[in-house]
Structure 1
Amino acid sequence: MCNIDIKQVLEDKKKYLDLLLLADEQENMIDRYLERGEMFVLESEDVKAVCVVTDEGDGEFEIKNIAVEPGSQRLGYGRRMLEHILFLYKDRGTAMYVGTGDSPLTIPFYESAGFKKSYQIDNFFTEHYDAPIFESGRQLEHMIVLKKKLT
């Protein structure tokens, strides 16, 4: 890994739409949180990862999108971004949430960073997305929401 720089994106967030769509496959769903969220990019020569975090009130934040360029996946960039976000928000609130599909690829990633399953939103992906979403060969239906205490 070369030098890594993580910086906040304050304008022209849609410039990273292709990357955002890797983690949230429908643009109108991204539009629901992109402008109200704080966006960060991780660069190592070029952009490797992106993350959007929203303030949900009462000291609670939510990672709405975290994605790594396909050619850079499984090289630690997602982990570095997640660690940076958790460090950045640790004194700003009490909890960080993330909602994801019930997938063997994503749940262990967050659990290894200290997130615990909090609750489930039944039929989230089948009711809110125009087309079925598949991960690891199976269709995502329910959103699993994980929580990590920040303080």
Structure 2
Amino acid sequence: MEIRQIEKNKKKYLDLLLLADEQESMIDQYLEKGQLFIMTKEQEEQAAAVAVVTWESSCTAELKNLAVAKEWQRKGLGKAMVEYLCQHFAKAGAREMIVGTGDSPLTIPFYEACGFIRSHIKENFFTENYDHPIWEEGVQLIHMIYLKKNLLAIPGNIR
């Protein structure tokens, strides 16, 4: 698998992005300002995984969207993408990577396994910002749970 950044025609990957954020208007708020990365089998165009990261400050990068195609899930691609992004943004000078997600039994343990720790909560985020209830694994998502990862110890960090 190879990971590369996409700078044009980002909406081409909308179907995959919608797996992680099911409302297109929310994706529109970060897709163009964010950096889009795709993971593909070598020399193929079809993405197995996608991620969007934005700079929230000069030292903080935020993982806004991470999605793995259904046929590729549970094969380590999500973790590999997160590791790549942490290294990439550490080399670009980020001190930390943050990610916001619902309080889901799938996503919180995934990010904790990737080295993230809980940071803070944005109360009522999903009920106030989405036009319909969001459910994951039988749990309605209400609050945005933020996790963070220190990137200063990653080799190549320029800060």
* Shorter-normalised TM range: over 0.9
Structure 1 CA distance for aligned equivalents of residues 80 and 96 of structure 2: 19
Counting matched residue pairs gives 148
Aligned residues with identical type, % of pairs: 55
Structure 1 CA distance for aligned equivalents of residues 100 and 126 of structure 2: 11
1:32 to 24, 29, 33: 29
Q: Which residue of structure 2 aligns with residue 119 of structure 1?
A: 120
TM-score under structure 2 length normalisation = 0.91
1:10 to 7, 29, 35: 7
Q: Which residue of structure 2 aligns with residue 54 of structure 1?
A: 54
Structure 1 CA distance for aligned equivalents of residues 112 and 147 of structure 2: 8
Deviation at 1:58, TM superposition (A): 3.0
List gaps (5 residues or longer) in structure 2: 153-159
Deviating beyond 3 angstroms after TM superposition, the runs of 4 or more aligned structure 1 residues are none
- 2:139 maps to amino acid: R
> What secondary structure, in the 3-state scheme, does the structure 1 residue paired with 2:64 have?
strand
Deviation at 1:38, TM superposition (A): 0.5
Q: Which residue of structure 2 aligns with residue 63 of structure 1?
A: 63
Structure 2 CA distance for aligned equivalents of residues 77 and 55 of structure 1: 23
List gaps (5 residues or longer) in structure 1: none
CA RMSD of aligned residues (A): 0.8
2:18 to 18, 21, 28: 21
> What secondary structure, in the 3-state scheme, does the structure 2 residue paired with 1:119 have?
strand
Establish whether residue 149 from structure 1 lines up as the match of residue 146 from structure 2.
no
- 2:36 maps to amino acid: M
Residues 126-145 of structure 1: matches in 2 within 5 Å? 126-145=127-146
Q: Which residue of structure 2 aligns with residue 43 of structure 1?
A: 40
Deviation at 1:71, TM superposition (A): 1.4
Structure 2 CA distance for aligned equivalents of residues 127 and 57 of structure 1: 25
CA displacement 1:78-117 (0-9 Å, x = unmatched): 1111111011111321110000000110001111111000
TM-score under structure 1 length normalisation = 0.95
CA displacement 1:43-92 (0-9 Å, x = unmatched): 02531000000001131110000000011111111111111101111132
- 1:132 maps to amino acid: P
Residues 85-124 of structure 1: matches in 2 within 5 Å? 85-91=85-91, 92-124=93-125
